[in-house]
Amino acid sequence: MKKVIEYIQENHDRYIGELNEFLRIPSVSTDPEHHEAVKTAAEFVAKQLQEAGMTTVEIFPTEGHPIVYAERLVEAAKPTLLVYGHYDVQPVDPIELWESAPFEPTIRNGELYARGAADDKGQVFIHFKSAEAFLNTGRQLPVNIKYLIEGEEEIGSPHLDPFIETHQDLLKADVAMVSDTAMFAHGVPSICYGLRGLTYFQLDLQGAHTDLHSGSFGGTVVNPAFELSKILTAMKDEAGRITIPHFYDDVRELTERERAEFARLPFDESTYKQAIGLKELSGEEGCTPLERLWVRPTFEINGLESGFTGKGAKTVLPAKAMAKVSMRLVPDQDPDKIADLFEDYVHALTPSSVHLETTRMHGGKPWVASLDHPALKAATQAIKKGFGKEPVFQREGGSIPVVATFAELLNIPSVLMGIGLPDENAHAPNEKLNLDNFYAGIKSSAYFLDELSRSGL
């Protein structure tokens, strides 16, 4: 590995040059005016992978933006790694807040400023260079490698799942590598090993068959907005615990090791509160903020609508009230089972004076990897060597759909090795990437290939 790491260190300037070329392509996937640029970015990725030494490189068209696939299979007995990433970027608005042009990469104080620097061009790029480093120093790759790089992540990946579904053989692998998240904090390299799931509902309550005058009818007619408020209020108790019967039955408790891992994370509550503009945090009693964010389920109202919401006053007694609600789920809660429990409960809470309609909007399973999984152990060693520091194990409160897809369709775990930082403005002006993390990321990626080959997978 010595030669490989030396090679990486010697090529820093070239890496920056090539990444800048990548970043100059304004591949804004949501904007029709940039569709040619999105195509150019796909071609850039293909060329990078070709030059890195992949034996197969193919640009698969979709009904949207193309998917770039590449592979180099070295030996059937070796583990196979599937690297996922995306070459599309977020829009740049509000453009006037950028200190340097979003598609003219600029280095200031060790940070590379450009749209896509952290999300995800800079992060996916490290995995191109790690493979290249082995092959350009006269070595074979220590594992079989496959790349799946899409151009629609920022618009919800509409064609990714269908592609994976129809290319399961092509994508067959032992583990996936996803670098599209942030480290816990600067100087705290991290592995994300768990994500929450989701079940999302729309509730529609109907009272009278039409809106009525609140003077002429008020006092005799059910108010669905009030009944909806009552139902929603009943969903949580004073301790912030969800009251749906059997809701917590399948919630997996934290292990002692996880609790210890969380405890050593440098979570600063006052910084966190300040960032979101709150004087105090809320949530379930008896749990730390990180536990409430990552390993405890939630019930949230996402939207409310009823009656008159314009300017001024209208004395209407609404006929309808609507709420969008969702529950974040944790292992081992099953979204379908929770949805059933929720529906039963909400119907039981609804008085006979209103008609309730529940609509299941969407759901996703929670995900968690075992900290003992060989791939996670390999990643731990790789980060330790690449960053010179033991990584922390963290989770995320949201979902990363592709991780769930890999688990469901390909039946493989993912290693979420994010080298971004929480303050890198992924979807905001002045997106940036810390160059020390970028270089350490390339090294870590190279070490990971080596560690994975010896992981026993």
Stretch 296-355 residues interacting with a copy of itself (CB under 8 A): 296, 298, 300-309, 312-318, 321-324, 326, 328, 352-353
Q: What are the helix (H) ranges across 137-268?
A: 160-166, 168-171, 214-217, 224-233, 256-263
- Give the separation between CA 156 and CA 146, rounded to whole angstroms: 22
Q: How far is the CB of 395 from a copy of itself (least distance, A)?
A: 11
Tell me the closest approach of the beta carbon of residue 346 to a copy of itself, in angstroms: 13
Smallest gap from residue 30 Cβ to a copy of itself (A):
15
Query: Which residues are CB-contacts of 99 (< 8 A; sequence separation ≥ 6)?
Result: 113, 430
- Contact code string over 144-173 relative to a copy of itself, x by CB under 8 A: ------------------------------
Q: What is the dihedral of CA 126, 128, 132, 134, to 10 degrees?
A: 60
Task: Report d(CA 393, CA 373) in Å as an integer.
Answer: 13
Between CA 375 and CA 368 the distance in angstroms is 13
Return the beta strands (E) in 183-289 as ranges. 190-195, 197-206, 212-213
Closer of 135 and 155 to a copy of itself (Cβ): 155
3-state SS, residue 147: strand
Contact pick of 398, 401, 408, 436 for a copy of itself (by CB under 8 A)? 398
Segment 89 to 118, residues that bind a copy of itself, using CB under 8 A: none
**Residue 60: CB minimum distance to a copy of itself, A:** 28
Angle, helices 12-23 vs 121-136, to 10°: value is 140
Q: Which of residues 214-253 bind a copy of itself (CB under 8 A)?
A: 214-223, 225-226, 228-230, 232-233, 236
Residues 181-220 close enough to bind a copy of itself by CB under 8 A: 196, 198, 200, 202, 207-210, 212-220
Residues ≥6 apart with Cβ < 8 Å to 297:
196, 242, 247, 248, 251, 327, 328, 329, 330, 333
* Identity of residue 449: L
In the complex, the smallest distance separating the C-beta of residue 286 from a copy of itself, rounded to whole angstroms, is 13
Residue among 18, 71, 88, 180 flagged as catalytic: 88
Nearer to a copy of itself, 23 or 323 (CB): 323
250 assigned to active site: no
Using the Cα atoms of residue 103, residue 180, residue 37 and residue 55 in order, give the sign of their dihedral.
positive
Question: Based on CB atoms, which residue is closest to a copy of itself, 270 or 352?
Answer: 352
**For the window 53-72, what string marks contact with a copy of itself as x by the rule CB under 8 A?**
--------------------
Q: Which of 18, 152, 153, 424 is catalytic?
A: 153
CB neighbourhood size of 263 (10 A): 10
Residues 6+ apart with CB under 8 A from 237: 243
Shortest reach from residue 206's CB to a copy of itself, in Å: 9
Of 252-260, 374-382, 390-398, 439-447, the segment contacting a copy of itself by CB under 8 A is: 390-398
Site string for a copy of itself, 271-300 (x = CB under 8 A): -x---xxxxxxxxx----x--xx--x-x-x
CA–CA distance, 231 with 200 (Å, rounded to integer): 16
| Number of residues located near a copy of itself, criterion CB under 8 A | 74
340 has catalytic annotation = no
* Tokens read off for 445: 């990626």
Bridge partners (DSSP) of residue 320 are 206
C-beta closer to a copy of itself: residue 53 or 289: 289
Closer to a copy of itself by Cβ: residue 13 or 238: 238
Q: Which of 28, 27, 417 lies closest to 184, judged by CA?
A: 417
Show which residues are catalytic.
Answer: 88, 153
